[in-house]
């Protein structure tokens, strides 16, 4: 039975339907779903696009009115890598993967969609989903194109609560994701308290 979670990414170039690999990267999927359901990605942009390689988004600093540099923002915590083991997923055309620094366990909210197979990223970034519909749309995305909204269209019958890491790499005891008091463009802006440049 195919019951893997699915999310719809509405971009300024059109919709992209993603299927999430909960069985292979459960914490990464929980993180992505929890952020999407909180409206975290709404109104952000694809701030880094390399033709015939990938399109990267998910940074709150890419919103209009944000004060931080795009590419350095995050949700105020990181998550553990899930790209080791015999059952990991590799980077193929249409993969959904987490952006991070070269250090381990530094992914937060930023993600990227691959245009082509990118085997040099295998074992370095967590692949946690794939494009089901809209690969051509993903390939047409240009820098500064909008992520209008990300909507969860299907998920399993349980809560999606990720294990979060603090700056010291240790699990956080409580949720430190906070909203700023002044929303930008009627969207709540979640304040990053731990910034690091994230790139594939």
Residue 137, pLDDT > 70, answer yes
Residue 180, pLDDT > 60, answer no
> In the predicted model, what is the mean pLDDT of residues 62-68?
93
Residue 197, pLDDT > 60, answer no
Residue 6, pLDDT > 80, answer yes
Full DSSP string of the chain: -----EEEEEETTEEEEEEE-TTT-HHHHHHHHHHHHTTTTTTEE--EEETTTEEEE--GGGSTT--SPTTS--SS-BB-----STTPPP--TTEEEE-B-SSTT-B-S-EEEESS--GGGTTTS-EEEEEEE-HHHHHH--TT-EEEEEEEEE--SS------B-TTSSBPSS---EE-SS-BTTBPPEEPSS----B-
Residue 23, pLDDT > 90, answer yes
**In which residue are the tokens 């820098």 written?**
143
pLDDT level of residue 81 (50, 70, 90 thresholds): very high
> In the predicted model, what is the mean pLDDT of residues 3-26?
98
Distance CA(137)–CA(190), nearest Å, equals 27
CATH number of 6-163: 2.40.100.10
pLDDT at position 7: 99
pLDDT at position 194: 34
pLDDT at position 84: 85
> In the predicted model, what is the mean pLDDT of residues 85-94?
89
pLDDT level of residue 43 (50, 70, 90 thresholds): very high
Task: Find out whether 71 and 198 touch, Cβ atoms under 8 Å.
Answer: yes
pLDDT at position 1: 63
Residue 184, pLDDT > 70, answer no
Nearest residue to 57 (alpha-carbon basis) of 138, 134, 161: 138
Task: Find out whether 21 and 4 touch, Cβ atoms under 8 Å.
Answer: yes
> In the predicted model, what is the mean pLDDT of residues 11-17?
99
**In which residue are the tokens 């930023």 written?**
110
Residue 185, pLDDT > 60, answer no
Which two structure tokens, joined as six digits, stand for 111? Answer: 């993600």
Q: pLDDT > 90: what percent of the chain?
A: 80
Distance CA(13)–CA(10), nearest Å, equals 8
């Amino acid at each position: 039975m195919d019951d893997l979670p699915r999310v719809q990414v509405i971009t300024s170039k059109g919709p992209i339907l993603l299927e999430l690999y909960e069985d292979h990267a459960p914490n990464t999927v929980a993180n992505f779903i929890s952020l999407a359901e909180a409206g975290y990605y709404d109104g952000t942009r694809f701030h880094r696009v390399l033709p015939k390689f990938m399109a990267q988004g998910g940074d709150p600093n890419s919103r209009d009115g944000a004060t931080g540099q795009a590419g350095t923002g995050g949700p105020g915590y990181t998550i553990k890598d899930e790209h080791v083991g015999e059952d990991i997923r590799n980077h193929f055309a249409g993969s959904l993967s987490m952006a991070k620094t070269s250090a381990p366990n530094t992914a937060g909210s930023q993600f990227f969609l691959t245009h082509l197979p990118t085997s040099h990223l295998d074992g370095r970034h967590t692949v946690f989903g794939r494009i089901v519909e809209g690969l051509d749309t993903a390939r047409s995305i240009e820098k500064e194109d909008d992520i209008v909204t990300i909507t969860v269209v299907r998920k399993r019958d349980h809560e999606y609560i990720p294990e979060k890491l603090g700056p010291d790499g240790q699990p956080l005891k409580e949720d430190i994701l906070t909203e700023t008091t002044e929303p930008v463009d009627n969207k709540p802006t979640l304040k990053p308290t731990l910034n690091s440049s994230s790139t594939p």
